[in-house]
Amino acid sequence: MERALVDRLADDLSAADFTVDGLTDLWGADADAALHRGHRVPALRAARRSPSARATLARLFVLGVPVEPAGLSAALPRLGHEGAVQLGLVNGSGVPLLDLRPYAVVDAAGVVHWWIVSDLGELALGHAIPEDHVLGVGGASSTLSGLLVPSPVDSALDLGTGCGIQALHLARHARRVVATDISRRALELARFNAALNGVDSIEFRLGSLFDPVEGERFDRIASNPPFVITPRVQDVPAYEYRDGGMEGDALVETVILGLREHLTDGGMAQLLGNWEYGERDGLDRVAAWVDSAGLDAWVVERERQSVEAYAETWIRDGGTRPGPEFDRLSERWLDDFARRGVTDVGFGYLTLRRPPAEPTVRRIERYDAPLGGALGEHIASVFAAHDWLNANDLPAARLTLAPDVTEERHYWPGADDPTVMLLRQGTGFARSVPMGTALAAVVGACDGELPIGVIAAAVADLLDVDADAVLAEVLPTIAELVVTGFLRP
Ligand SMILES: C[S@@+](CC[C@H](N)C(=O)[O-])C[C@H]1O[C@@H](n2cnc3c(N)ncnc32)[C@H](O)[C@@H]1O
């Protein structure tokens, strides 16, 4: 990779307005949506109609269609077709060799506009992807990057960096980042992406799991590890980008168990994973892993699939459509699950923290409501609220309602009293919490003036019930409302 050529490419992409918005302007929101569903024709038709450099680049790098060398030189005037060949983006006839597309997101530090190079997908190749495929930015990548805690730190590790997307995000908050992968090719593309986006604080290292960082500790670790459960038999493809080569969900357990000795005190790790359900509940198994790891933990299970649905998802992901090969692979997957008595697979994310002494945070939950946007600050505030609760006496605390909290009441027609009262959160996990009369009255009085114990006693007086009973009733939910960000000390 020659830096001068990469800089010329970046200049050309900027000049062509090769951005996420630029592409939506080119082909419209409907074609964009079709593309996300794996249907490129609407975008292709719009791109063919436009003579712009942006349309040429989109046809070539996003839609995977060859472009005449002269046309490419016109679209990349500084780099030229020859330069693109030298960078390995196209061959001598203008056939694309890599996918290159704009990426945009808003995180806690502001708007990000990057370009990301990865291997060509199924759509451009016209066939199933090879086992050493280097993945671009997908749904799971965005889920993880949206969770990353954004406070400034000295060092961060991206384990299994792929095209380098998490490392780029980590570099926005960490002074230095180490990005590792077992794939030499992934590291080459990730290094290319860092250079293309002008980020020079990432060090790339080859090796499996924690081998490349033996003896080192980091303030942050992010990993979208190759957690996909795959039958360990000869005739099932093992895609490097998603399969860590271990049986069942052992890869996720191994990553979790390795975290403690690579985190600084107070250091946080964030990762995605799958876990199996069989005789034992999947989340109980995850709880046992984090217990053995000796880490504070917040685990959120976002989805649970039957093994049949899981097998289908990942056979399709490899580019195999229903037919004889699909059936053969499905037999392998379902044999593997049946052999180990697995019925379902959970998916979710974990934020783990190395505590200075014994772990104090153990939050394990199922939450499948839609979530979006940058959640990192919220995640940090949940850990901070746990710490606050552990250090303070809740009945003596003066709490205020967070500004994004509203109350919702539902009435039977004509009734004076509500049948349902809910507290709703506008940010974070956008949770809603049902409330009884006593809790609603206590929460309604949380304006920071009086301690919770005093408010509960006054509410008990109004309702003509025992003060200790009211406090005992509301305290666990008040604690939960503090942790989840409805109430603030
Ligand atoms: C699901 S991809 C994640 C890529 C990227 N970090 C993201 O978030 O999109 C998993 C990555 O882990 C890498 N990988 C597979 N086995 C590994 C291992 N044993 N040690 C380190 N990385 C591994 C794969 O090559 C792949 O790049």
Distance CA(271)–CA(85), nearest Å, equals 36
What residue's CA is closest to ligand 1, atom 12?
Answer: 160
What pLDDT sits at residue 319?
83
Provide the total of helices (H) and of strands (E) in the chain, helices listed first: 18, 16
Q: Which of 489, 479, 487 is nearest to 402 (CA)?
A: 487
- Ligand 1: which of 188, 220, 241, 314 to mutate, judged by most atoms within 8 Å of the beta carbon? 241
Place 318 in a pLDDT band, splitting at 50, 70 and 90.
confident
pLDDT tier at 332, thresholds 50, 70, 90: very high
Average model confidence (pLDDT) for the chain? 96
For residue 1, pLDDT over 70 is answered with no
Q: Cβ(118) to ligand 1 under 6 A?
A: no
- Contact at 8 Å (CB) between 135 and 183? no
Nearest alpha carbon to residue 195 among 5, 439, 49: 5
Measure 226 CA to ligand 1 centroid, in angstroms: 5
**Ligand 1 contact, 244 CB (< 6 A):** yes
- Of 90-99, 273-282, 313-322, 472-481, least confident by mean pLDDT is 313-322
pLDDT per position as a tens digit, 176-230: 999 999 999 999 999 999 999 999 999 999 999 999 999 999 999 999 999 999 9
For residue range 439-457, list pLDDT tens digits in order. Answer: 999 999 999 999 999 999 9
Residue 304: name the closest of 375, 241, 367, 230 by CA.
367
Which among 271, 479, 256 is positioned nearest to 382, based on CA atoms? 479
Interatomic CA distance for residues 38 and 123, integer angstroms: 7
What is the whole-number distance in angstroms between the Cα of residue 162 and the centre of ligand 1?
Answer: 5
Query: How much distance in Å is there from the Cα of 224 to the middle of ligand 1?
Result: 7
Cβ(256)–Cβ(246) under 8 Å? no
- First-to-final CA distance of the chain: 53
Does 274 sit in the ligand 1 pocket, CB within 6 Å?
no
100 pLDDT band, cuts 50/70/90, is very high
Contact yes or no for 341/278 (Cβ under 8 A)? yes
Whether the predicted pLDDT of 233 surpasses 80: yes
pLDDT recorded at residue 129: 84
Q: Is 477 in the pocket of ligand 1 (CB under 6 A)?
A: no
What confidence tens digit (pLDDT) does each residue in 22-72 have? 999 999 999 999 999 989 999 999 999 999 999 999 999 999 999 999 999
Instruction: Specify the pLDDT at position 484.
Output: 97
Q: Does the CB atom of residue 141 touch ligand 1 within 6 A?
A: yes
- pLDDT, residue 202, reads 98
333-337 CB contacts, 8 Å cutoff, 24+ apart: 333/230, 333/231, 333/236, 333/307, 334/307, 334/308, 335/231, 336/229, 336/231, 336/232, 336/233, 337/276, 337/307, 337/311
